[in-house]
Amino acid sequence: MKNSIGRDLPEVIEGYGQPIPYSGAFEARPAMRRQAPKVKTIHPRDQKLVDTLEAVFQQIPITDGMTLSFHHHFRNGDGVVNQVLATAAALGIKNLKVALSSVFPVHETLIAYMKSGVVTALDTNYMSGPVAKAVSEGVLATPVVLRTHGGRARAIECGQLPIDVAFIAAPAADEYGNLNGVQGPAACGSLGYAFPDAEYADHVVAVTDYIAEYPLAPISIPQCLVDYVVKVDCAGDPRGIVSGTTKITKDPVGLKIAAMAAKVIEAAGLLKNGFSFQTGAGGVSLAVAHFIRQRMEQEHIVGSFALGGITGYMVDMLEKGFFKKLIDVQGFDLEAIRSIKTNPNHLEVSANFYASPFNVGCAVNRLDVVVLGATEIDVDFHVNVVTGSDGVIMGGSGGHADAAAGAKVTIVVANLLRGRLPIIVEQVLTATTPGETIDVLVTERGVAVNPQRPELLRQLLAAGLPVKEIQDLKAMAEKIAGVPRKLTTSDRVVAVVEYRDGSVIDVVRQVHQ
């Protein structure tokens, strides 16, 4: 079958079931109730501290076929996933589903567990590195489910991703299960992506290397949700958790694109008091913030809030009065941690609050502008952030499709040529974010406006921006680099790309090795 953007989907996907075809960004009308979490109790004298992960496995008990969930706030410094799975393997447990919000190179050990049958299913929003490559090459018999950040929260809350045990990497905990992300050697800032897991999993295990005196303050995840607290020697490597400082790019082409994106925002009439904004932590995205900030300074504009993954640059904008609030689902650096710890206007929010489509008000809906990247974009403005030019998985939506759907204006910034490859193609290999939610593409050689936004087109033309048809930009790139040979894949589905509402926007097929 084909979904509404023309992507071919199997009628039944082995190991996934019957896909609900994507039918439009705002078409889904949920007719269901939320999953009711298990009701639990505890005797007043019971202890939650457990000495080892093995002991927790035995007390719960964790058995074959369960779903274990994890958050990714420790990024490439995570030590918890590997320790938990080593324990599972040592205990001879098989057929686990790992629901880890993002997979990083540090999780390479997963591959061995996949090969030995300890892990047979993976549910995630983003993956890069060796695991992504192994999945692309077909290491798992069942396809990986790739969700958006908002979609994962929705799936947990609505019962499509039931979790048996949530292992919550906690930078700081007390012995009765209060957790936060801002203290201890593995401090990571916001714990936003772990909130739905803590609330809905049957069993919740905090894994920490820093136990503070009861009661912990501040509290991000409260004691009433946490069953066990395990102290390990090391929960994560700070060098992989936070970067020192995130810097704006010095690449002149990236800066040119960023400056142009800032002009687009201004031309669209959005840069005024009360402005709200989301951008990534990458060099070019951050450079957009830099150029926006210059204009806000010149015009004495005070924004409302900045959203998403928070960097020191955004913290500086908060502290200098360019934004009144930061809404933080994930912090990227030491400055973000310092700020969320001390500044009441720096808010820690859950993945649900941030981006779930199935509630009555997620934060992305309040965005004026989001600036996003792309590995490919096609002439219908559909964006791929899942697979690279070789067909191998190298990312995932994360919040991409969520923020694109919510914001008034969604801007994709991309080099027209990446290496020797044109970024604009006739049809993206993997659709991640539908074109109907993308408004403008900004490249170093011109700006293309989605034809569904004629008013925006008029505004950008009136501002004298170099607006071109997306087909013309594509031709310009192909004139320089030629048309790349079309990639061929096998028919076997290795990943199902779910849109934020749970419908299937595309599938990833196995690459030829």
Residues lying near other proteins in the complex (CB under 8 A) are found at 252-253, 255-256, 417, 444-445, 479-480
Token digits for 437? 């939610």
| Count of beta carbons in the 10 Å neighbourhood of residue 26 | 11
Contacts of 8-12 with C-beta under 8 Å, sequence gap 24+, read 9/504, 9/506, 9/507, 10/493, 10/507
CB within 8 A of 426, min separation 6: which ones?
378, 379, 474
Rounded to the nearest whole angstrom, what is the least distance from the CB of residue 182 to other proteins in the complex?
A: 33
Rounded to the nearest whole angstrom, what is the least distance from the CB of residue 444 to other proteins in the complex?
A: 4
Residue 431: strand, helix, or coil: coil
Three-state SS string over 448-460 comes to EECCCCHHHHHHH
CA within 13 Å, CB half, 265: 32
Rounded to the nearest whole angstrom, what is the least distance from the CB of residue 253 to other proteins in the complex?
A: 5
Report the largest interatomic distance among the alpha carbons of the chain, rounded to a whole angstrom. 74
Complex with other proteins: residue 255 or 362, whichever CB lies closer: 255
Rounded to the nearest whole angstrom, what is the least distance from the CB of residue 275 to other proteins in the complex?
A: 23
Complex with other proteins: residue 60 or 421, whichever CB lies closer: 421
- Give the amino acid at 81: V
End-to-end Cα separation, the chain, in angstroms:
27
Complex with other proteins: residue 39 or 462, whichever CB lies closer: 462
Rounded to the nearest whole angstrom, what is the least distance from the CB of residue 256 to other proteins in the complex?
A: 6
Rounded to the nearest whole angstrom, what is the least distance from the CB of residue 260 to other proteins in the complex?
A: 10
Q: How far apart are CA 414 and CA 406, in angstroms?
A: 20
Encode 103-119: b = buried (16+ Cβ within 10 Å), e = exposed: bbebbebbbebbeeebb
Rounded to the nearest whole angstrom, what is the least distance from the CB of residue 47 to other proteins in the complex?
A: 57
Complex with other proteins: residue 17 or 252, whichever CB lies closer: 252
Q: Are 249 and 284 within 8 A, CB to CB?
A: yes
Complex with other proteins: residue 166 or 416, whichever CB lies closer: 416
Complex with other proteins: residue 202 or 444, whichever CB lies closer: 444
CA dihedral (403, 499, 146, 182) in degrees, to 10, reads 30
Rounded to the nearest whole angstrom, what is the least distance from the CB of residue 483 to other proteins in the complex?
A: 16
Complex with other proteins: residue 290 or 366, whichever CB lies closer: 290
Pairing verdict, β 504-511 and 49-50:
unpaired
Complex with other proteins: residue 89 or 416, whichever CB lies closer: 416
H or E segment to which residue 494 belongs: strand 489-498
Q: How far apart are CA 263 and CA 280, in angstroms?
A: 18
Q: How far apart are CA 468 and CA 405, in angstroms?
A: 24
Complex with other proteins: residue 409 or 476, whichever CB lies closer: 476
Rounded to the nearest whole angstrom, what is the least distance from the CB of residue 479 to other proteins in the complex?
A: 8
Rounded to the nearest whole angstrom, what is the least distance from the CB of residue 295 to other proteins in the complex?
A: 13
Cα–Cα distances (Å) from 141 to 41, 51, 164, 298, 385, in that order, read 38, 35, 21, 57, 23
Residue 55: strand, helix, or coil: helix
Q: How far apart are CA 392 and CA 334, in angstroms?
A: 32
Rounded to the nearest whole angstrom, what is the least distance from the CB of residue 26 to other proteins in the complex?
A: 36
Complex with other proteins: residue 298 or 342, whichever CB lies closer: 298
CB within 8 A of 237, min separation 6: which ones?
77, 79, 186
Rounded to the nearest whole angstrom, what is the least distance from the CB of residue 478 to other proteins in the complex?
A: 13
H or E segment to which residue 384 belongs: strand 383-384
Q: How far apart are CA 73 and CA 170, in angstroms?
A: 9
Token digits for 12? 């039944």
Rounded to the nearest whole angstrom, what is the least distance from the CB of residue 395 to other proteins in the complex?
A: 22
Complex with other proteins: residue 156 or 248, whichever CB lies closer: 248
Complex with other proteins: residue 361 or 419, whichever CB lies closer: 419
Complex with other proteins: residue 292 or 367, whichever CB lies closer: 292
Residue whose token pair is 């203290």: 183
Which residues are bridge partners to 211 per DSSP? 173
CA within 13 Å, CB half, 162: 9
Residue 261: strand, helix, or coil: helix
